[in-house]
Amino acid sequence: MRVAAYYPLDAKSIRYITGLSQRPAPDGSVAMRPSNWEYALDCSAGMGNVYASDNGVPYLSRWEFGLGVSSDGSDVEPWIDQRGLEAIGTNHLVKQIAINVLLSTF
């Protein structure tokens, strides 16, 4: 699984990342899904994500045709603007996750 973040992560976002990046079983499956990707797609379909988006908190969403592109191929504002953002460096992202893990163990 590959991850890119464009803003500093909060605890809920980090829990999403670590939860979706489970190590596959010997047959490659994850939580009774064929792969991590299928597991993530399944998680994004939950109604909790709709409520979270309405409340302005992190949530999972699926963009089948790419971020900011609707099923008819038209641009979806303001999401399409986010395609030009520069991702946070890997070292910075790993540090955020590590600090969250350390602080959550206390």
Percent of the chain with pLDDT over 70: 98
Show the DSSP H helices in 1-106 as ranges: 11-20, 36-44, 47-55, 90-104
User: What are 40-96's pLDDT values in tens digits?
Assistant: 888 888 888 889 888 988 888 888 888 889 999 999 988 888 888 898 999 999 999
Does residue 99 carry a pLDDT above 80? yes
pTM: 0.73
CA distance 77 to 106: 41
The letter for the amino acid at 67 is L
